[in-house]
Amino acid sequence: MRKFSVIVTGVLMACMLSLVACTSITGFLPSDGHKTEAPVKGASANAIVQSGKIAKDLDGLLEVCLKNTEKVNSAGHPLDESFFLWIYHRYGENTFRKLADGLKQGRDQKIYGRLTGNTIHSLWIYYCAEVGVHSEDLQNVYIKGGQSSTGIVMNFAGDVNFDEKWENVRYADRNKITIPQCFTGGLLEEMQDADLMMINNECTYGTKGTAQAGKAYTFRGKPARAANLPALGVDLVSLANNHVYDYGATGLLETMKALRENNVPYVGAGKNLDEATKPLYFLINGKVIAITAATQVERTYRYTKEATNRTPGVLKCQYPERYVRVIEDAKKHADYVIAFVHWGTEGKVFFEKDQVDLGRKFVNAGADVVIGGHTHCLQGMEFYKNVPVFYSLGNFWFDWDVKNAKQTGIFQIVIPEHFTPKTVKYRFIPCYYKNGKTRLLNSKKSKNKAYRYMEHLSWLTKVDSRGFVHEIEEGKKE
C-alpha cells in the first residue's frame, strides 16, 4: 500500500493557509442590492482537519479513492492524492469515508454533489483556487453568490443599444431619467434578482475609430454608458454580433476596455482568436455554467471581422466547425452549457432552415440550450433531442420602428438544486417596448396574448399560464 502520511500534514497546512490567500480565479462577481451572497458550500470551519485528528486509516481511504477513480466519476479531471486530501480537509472524515465507500461501489460523479453540495466541476475549481494548482483551469471563471442557496435562475434578453443618437437613449436623456428607470412594471427587479442576467450588447463604447464606410447602421455610445449594465443587473454580455465592429478594431478594443472597467464579462469576441473562443464559466450554488457565443451574421457583407491569432474580432459560426469545438470543450468543464447565437434574417418572425441546421449542430456538440438573437423581433422555439432552441429574443431595449419589433421578453432557465436535464425548467417572460421604455407585462390578458403569440411562432411547444414552456409530443394534441 502506498504511504501518504508523510505528506498529509504539509498538504493540509497548505490548504489551511490557502483560505486566506489570493486565488487566480478571474473574478468574484458582486451581488447587487437585491441579492445576497451565498456562502461557499463546504467551507464550514468544523470540517477543517485539526492537527492530531487525522484518521488512522487515511492512507487506506486515499488508496480506495485513487484506485476507484475513473473518467466516468472524475469528469476527466486529474484527481490525485492532493485533491482527495483537500476533500478530507474541506468536508471532514465522515463525508470522506462515504465518498471512499461510494467510489468503491462504482458510483458515478454525482456522488460528489450528493455528499458535498458541489458538483465535481465545482469542486475542481475550488480545489485549484485554494491549493494554487492548475491555474489554466481557472481562466474566465467567476464565482457568484445565488439568490437562494440551492437552485439557479438565469435570465437572457436580446439586443440592448446605448447609442446616444438612437431614440431609446435620447428619450432617457431628454426626460432626464436614468436608463434603469426605462425598465418598468417590475422588469428591473426581475433582471436584478436573477442569479445570472445576460444580454446582447448591440453597440460599441468609445470615442475613437471611424464608422465603417458603406454600413447602413453604426452604433456607438460613450464609454460611460457601459456603467448602465451592472445597474440593470446585467452580469455578462455577448459581443458576438454584427455591430461591435462598427468602428473597426479600434472601436472593438475600446468596447472591451469599457466593459472590463465596469467589471462586465463578455463572450464571443476578443483581442485575438484565443480570447474570442473562450467560454465564460460561472460557479453558482455548487454548479458550473458555461456560456459560449458566436455570430452567423454577416453572411453576405463582411463589415464585422472574425478574430485571428493576431487581430481582434468576433467568433463566427456561419461555418460552424470552430464553434462546435468550443461547445464540445466547454461541455468537458461544466455541468450546463449555453450557446448564445447571433443568426437569422432581420424582421423574420419565423425561424429559417439555416438556423435550424446550425442549432442542431450545437445541440449535438453538447449545448444544453441554444438562445438566439439578431432578427430585431421575437422568433419562436422548438425542442431538439429534448433541448430547447429559442431562435430569437429580438430587441430588448432598442427603438426599431418596424412591425413586430415591440414584442420582446426574457427567456428564463431554472435549474433546481438536484438537477437532471429533465428537471430544468424554461420560461418565457413577456415584455413590451414602447416610447423609450421596456415594461414587464403583468395583466393576465396581456400575458396570455403573448404566450399564444409565442406558441404561434414555435414548433410543438406549449406555453402554460405561468409562462413555462413544454415540448409537445408530435402527433398529440394540446
Question: Tens of pLDDT along 183-212?
Answer: 999 999 999 999 999 999 999 999 999 999
- The answer on pLDDT for 291 being more than 60 is yes
Distance, CA of 384 to CA of 271 (rounded, Å): 34
Predicted pLDDT at 476: 67
Across 75-128, the runs of DSSP E, i.e. the strands, are none
Mean of the pLDDT values across residues 443-455? 98
Q: What is the pLDDT of residue 477?
A: 56
**198 close to 154: Cβ distance less than 8 angstroms:** yes
The confidence band for 3, taking pLDDT boundaries of 50, 70 and 90, is: very low
Contact by Cβ (8 Å): 470, 464? yes
Instruction: List, for residues 217-237, the tens digit of each pLDDT value.
Output: 999 999 999 999 999 999 999
The mean pLDDT of 236-256, rounded to a whole number, is: 98
pLDDT > 70 fraction of the chain, expressed in percent and rounded: 88
Mean pLDDT of 166-181: 98
**Which secondary structure element, helix H or strand E, spans residue 106, and what is its range?**
none
Question: Could you give the 3-state DSSP secondary structure of residue 364?
Answer: helix
Average pLDDT rounded to a whole number, residues 434-452:
98
pLDDT of residue 300: 79
Contacting residues for 424 by C-beta, under 8 A, at least 6 apart: 336, 368, 413, 414, 415, 416
**Mean pLDDT over residues 434-446, rounded?**
98
Q: What is the pLDDT at residue 422?
A: 92
pLDDT at 44: 38
pTM attached to this predicted model: 0.92
Q: 92-117, pLDDT tens digit by residue?
A: 999 999 999 999 999 999 999 999 99
Strands 381-384 and 336-342: unpaired
Pairing of the two strands 313-314 and 437-440: unpaired
Predicted confidence at residue 478, as pLDDT, reads: 58
Mean pLDDT of the chain: 90
Look up residue 420 and give its amino acid.
T
